[in-house]
Structure 1
Amino acid sequence: MMKKFLFGAGAVIALTGAYLTLWPVPIDPAPWDAEASLGYTGDFAPNTTLADMERIAIGQTYGPEDVAIREKDGGYEVYVSGHKGEIIKIDPVTLTRTTITNTGGVPLGIEFANETDLIVADAYLGLMSVNVDTGAVNLLTNSVDGTPILYADDVDIAPNGVIYFSDASTKFGAKAIGSTMAASLLEIMEHRKTGRVLSYDPRDGVTRVVADGFSFSNGVAMHPDGQSLLVVETGTYSVHRIWVDGPRKGKREVIIGNLPGFPDNINPGPLVDLPNVTSVPTFYVGLISQRSDWLDANARKPFMRKLAMRLPERLRPSAVDYTHIVQITADGQVIQTLQDPSGDYPQATGAVMAPDGHLYVSSLSATTLARKQLNPKN
């Protein structure tokens, strides 16, 4: 009996070992160097500015991924995207909402091109335009140079009308994988930097590759001068600046790195006055969760990352909520950080400041939109 037991136990151990080392997984991890996290110190010292935010209902959906503001009739309207395909309008006074349309996909980043046309980066379908007065949806592009756009993520528009947007992964498509979160985790875990930044020019209808080699290219924000673009690279905890016009066209640099969390969206913030210069443009960067100590420790260990993918999902490294918005300049100077260490508003993707001083905070998974009355830092 003991021999049978030992044989059976040995067989189970052997099969488990074979599974953990040989079972196919969807990623082929590349080694990379993760800079040691400094945590919540210095510019990122903890605070509770975003604690107790007001919650605004968005209906029977979730994940108000991005926020766009339309100024109208002396006031403004709030627009958000929902993970079930919705584009939703919210009255900031009455907090009533209207579903403008449904794209049929998963709209993420949104930005107004003019008074009526909302440009939408739809993770499942590509780059779209929505007329917010009529609800009409128009597909602008879903391919570039003969390759499909698999994960349109965020979008912004230059003063000349050119639309810039991120294609977060050219290997792990959001629709093919079945969710935006699952696809993002695969791209980041593999770390082969398949993300890219694209442009679409409405004047000729041509889509172009602006830059590639990103470990999950995410948030996109245009500098007001129209010469450069700020791009979030989630997988390396960093923000890049890419020059798309002017004397530095084609140049690219990391303006801030080693952030204490995974950065997601980036949106224009209020102008600030610094000691030697006035009216400096700023940007809000959302950190969707804390960094993963396990992922950093195994950055140079592809085998361990493959092994983790063979574990049950509940045993894999998971995100830890920490509501966190960082305000920076275009050269990466931190102006302030806005936080709620409790993470009560989960997976905050970014923020937009409205004309009345309300900061609207978006989320990947929340069932509400959050906001807090703040005085823009000048």
Structure 2
Amino acid sequence: MLKKISLLLLILILVGMGYLTLWPVPIAPVAWNAPKNLGYTGDFTPNMKLAGLKTLSIGDHHGPEDVAGRIEDGEMIIYTSTQSGDILRINPRTNQYKVIANTGGVALGLQFAPNGNLIIADAHKGLLSMDDDGKITLLTNKADDGSPILYADEMGIAKDGKIYFSDASTKFGAEVSGSTLAGSLLELMEHGKTGRMLVYDPAFNTTKIVLDNLSFPNGVAMCPDDACFLFTETGTYEVKRHWLKGPQAGSTDIIIDNLPGFPDNLNKGQDGRYWIGLVSPRSEALDNLSAKPFLRKIVQRLPASLRPKAVNYGFIFAIDMNGKVLAQYQDPSGAYPVATGATEPGDGWLYIGSLSARELGRKDLRGETF
């Protein structure tokens, strides 16, 4: 009997080892060296300034990922995207909302274009445009070289109407991966740098590749004079600046590196501020495995509950176009879950996006000094 039990245990061990080392997984991990995490120190010393957020109702919807605002009939009106693809129009004064359109996918980034249309980066559909009547038109879902846009994420719009936007992964599309979160986790675990930055030119209906070989490029915002744009590279914990004009045209520099979390949305605010959300603190396990692709593949074979995952920790901060930190608001409790970024439309409030929240958070900035 003891021999049979021992044999059974040996078989189970061999099967388990075979599974962990040989079972096919969708990722082909690439070795890289994650910088040593300095944590919440220096400019990012912990505080509780994001705790106790006020909220606006979004009804039964969830995941107000991004926000855009403009003045309509003399008052600020807020638009937000949702995980269902619904676009909501919210009056902050009355705390009333209505659904004005549905993209048919997963709406992520929002920004108003010079012509007044709301531009939408939809993770399933590509780059969309919505007019004041809620009619949605496809602008582009592939680059000029024919490659499909699989994970349209965020955008910055220049004064001439050109739209610079991120395609976060050309391998792990949001739709084929099952969700935006699933696609992002696969891209980050592999670190294959399949993301890219594109530019859509409405004057010629072209979509050109500006940058590639990026590790989950995410939030995007234009510099004040459109000479450059800023963007977050989630997989490298960096904020970068790409120059479009002047003596540095065509070059890219890092303005913040070694962030203590995963940078997500990046939105232009008031008075030269740019707001960035750290969607989750960094994963010690993921950093420790950065140079060990074989072990990362083994981790991918583990049940999802045992793999590195996002942790709720609210973190929003503002920088100038050179990367100087101007303000930072934290809530270590993560009461407002998976905060993705913030929008400062000019009404004295900061609107906080989220991957999963069932309301739209906002913080009163009146009286704040930067």
Partners of 1:32 and 1:59 in 2: CA distance: 43
Mean Cα deviation higher: 50-59 or 230-239: 50-59
The answer to whether the 8 A contact 1:108-1:154 is kept is: yes
Question: Which deviations, in whole Å up to 9, do the C-alpha atoms of 1:295-346 show, x marking residues without a partner?
Answer: 0111001011111111111111121111001111111111121111111111
The answer to whether the 8 A contact 1:270-1:377 is kept is: no
1:143 aligns with 2:142: yes
Percent identity between the two aligned chains: 53
Partners of 2:177 and 2:298 in 1: CA distance: 19
Partners of 2:340 and 2:351 in 1: CA distance: 11
SS at match of 2:40: coil
Partners of 2:295 and 2:20 in 1: CA distance: 10
1:34 aligns with 2:39: no
Partners of 1:183 and 1:76 in 2: CA distance: 34
Query: Within 5 A, what are the aligned runs for 1:221-300?
Result: 221-271=221-271, 281-300=272-291
Structure-1 residue corresponding to 2:319:
328
TM-score w.r.t. structure 2 length? 0.98
Question: Which deviations, in whole Å up to 9, do the C-alpha atoms of 1:266-311 show, x marking residues without a partner?
Answer: 001221xxxxxxxxx2200100011000001110010111111111
Structure-1 residue corresponding to 2:352:
361
Partner AA of 1:158 in structure 2: A
Structure-1 residue corresponding to 2:165:
165
Q: Cα gap change, 1:114/1:95 in structure 2, threshold over 3 Å: closer, same or farther?
A: farther
Partners of 1:292 and 1:327 in 2: CA distance: 23
Structure-2 residue corresponding to 1:89:
89
Partners of 2:260 and 2:369 in 1: CA distance: 22
The answer to whether the 8 A contact 1:68-1:111 is kept is: yes
Structure-2 residue corresponding to 1:278:
none
Query: Within 5 A, what are the aligned runs for 1:312-323?
Result: 312-323=303-314
Partners of 1:245 and 1:139 in 2: CA distance: 29
Partners of 2:168 and 2:62 in 1: CA distance: 21
Which of the numbers 357, 364, 368 marks the counterpart of 1:373?
A: 364
Deviation at 1:149, TM superposition (A): 0.4
Partners of 1:5 and 1:335 in 2: CA distance: 64
Partners of 1:356 and 1:164 in 2: CA distance: 26
Partners of 1:210 and 1:247 in 2: CA distance: 17
Deviation at 1:160, TM superposition (A): 1.1
The answer to whether the 8 A contact 1:242-1:251 is kept is: yes
SS at match of 2:245: coil
TM-score w.r.t. structure 1 length? 0.96
Deviation at 1:229, TM superposition (A): 0.5
Partners of 2:369 and 2:162 in 1: CA distance: 30
Q: Cα gap change, 1:99/1:115 in structure 2, threshold over 3 Å: closer, same or farther?
A: farther
Partners of 2:287 and 2:133 in 1: CA distance: 47
Partner AA of 1:318 in structure 2: K
Q: Which runs of 5+ in 2 are unaligned?
A: none
Deviation at 1:115, TM superposition (A): 6.1
Question: Which deviations, in whole Å up to 9, do the C-alpha atoms of 1:6-35 show, x marking residues without a partner?
Answer: 111110010001000100000000011111
Partners of 1:295 and 1:235 in 2: CA distance: 11
Q: Which runs of 5+ in 1 are unaligned?
A: 272-280
Query: Within 5 A, what are the aligned runs for 1:75-86?
Result: 75-86=75-86
The answer to whether the 8 A contact 1:284-1:351 is kept is: yes
Structure-1 residue corresponding to 2:59:
59
State the Cα RMSD in Å: 1.0
The answer to whether the 8 A contact 1:284-1:326 is kept is: yes
Deviation at 1:351, TM superposition (A): 0.4
Give every structure 1 segment of 4 or more consecutive aligned residues whose post-TM-superposition deviation is greater than 6 Å: none
Mean Cα deviation higher: 259-268 or 315-324: 315-324
SS at match of 1:309: helix
SS at match of 2:346: coil
The answer to whether the 8 A contact 2:30-2:192 is kept is: yes
Which of the numbers 339, 345, 354 marks the counterpart of 1:348?
A: 339
